[in-house]
Amino acid sequence: MESVWTENSRIRRREPLPGDMEAPVAVIGAGLAGILTAYYLKQAGIRAVILEADRIGSGQTRNTTAKITSQHNLIYDRMIRTFGRRMAEHYADANEAAIGEYERLILEKEIDCDFARRPAFLYSCTGTELLKREAEAAESLGIKASFGTDCELPFPVAGAVRFEHQASFHPLKFLAQMAEEVEVYEQTKVLKVKDGRVETGRGTVAAEHIVFTAHFPFINVPGYYFARMYQERSYVTALEGAKRLEGMYLGIDGDRLSFRACGDMLLLGGGSHRTGVNKGNRAGECGYGVLRRKAQEFYPGCREVLRWSAQDCMTLDGLPYVGRFSRRKPGWYVAAGFGKWGMTTAMVSARILTALISGRDCPEADIFSPQRHFTVQAAKELAVHGAYTVKGLAKHLLPAGNGSLIPNCPHMGCRLEWNPEEESYDCPCHGSRFDREGHLIDGPAQTDCERKGENKRNK
Ligand code: FES
pLDDT tens digit sequence for 121-167: 999 999 999 999 999 999 999 999 999 998 899 999 999 999 999 99
Q: What is the pLDDT at residue 459?
A: 43
Q: 254 falls in which pLDDT band (50, 70, 90)?
A: confident
**pTM, full prediction:** 0.94
CA distance 95 to 78: 17
Catalogue all structural domains in the chain, each as residue range(s) with its CATH number.
Answer: 4-64+172-227+318-374 (3.50.50.60), 115-167+229-311 (3.30.9.10), 377-458 (2.102.10.10)
Q: Give 294-346 pLDDT, tens digit per residue.
A: 999 999 999 999 999 999 999 999 999 999 999 999 999 999 999 999 999 99
The phi and psi torsions of 49 (rounded to 5 degrees) equal -105, 135
Please indicate whether residue 445, judged by its CB atom, sits closer than 6 Å to ligand 1: yes
Question: Best of 409, 433, 442 to mutate for ligand 1, by most ligand atoms within 8 A of CB?
Answer: 409
Residue 443 CA, ligand 1 centroid: distance in Å: 8
CA distance 79 to 440: 36
Work out the average pLDDT over 437-455. Answer: 87
* CA-wise closest residue to 94 among 110, 107, 75, 78: 75
Please indicate whether residue 449, judged by its CB atom, sits closer than 6 Å to ligand 1: no
Work out the average pLDDT over 226-233. Answer: 93
The answer to whether the beta carbons of residues 175 and 61 sit under 8 Å apart is yes
CA distance 377 to 321: 16
Longest dimension (CA), the chain: 63
Residue 449 CA, ligand 1 centroid: distance in Å: 11
Burial class (CB in 10 A: 0-12, 13-18, 19+), 427: buried
Please indicate whether residue 347, judged by its CB atom, sits closer than 6 Å to ligand 1: no
Burial class (CB in 10 A: 0-12, 13-18, 19+), 282: exposed
Residue 197 CA, ligand 1 centroid: distance in Å: 25
Residue with the larger pLDDT of the pair 9 and 272 = 272
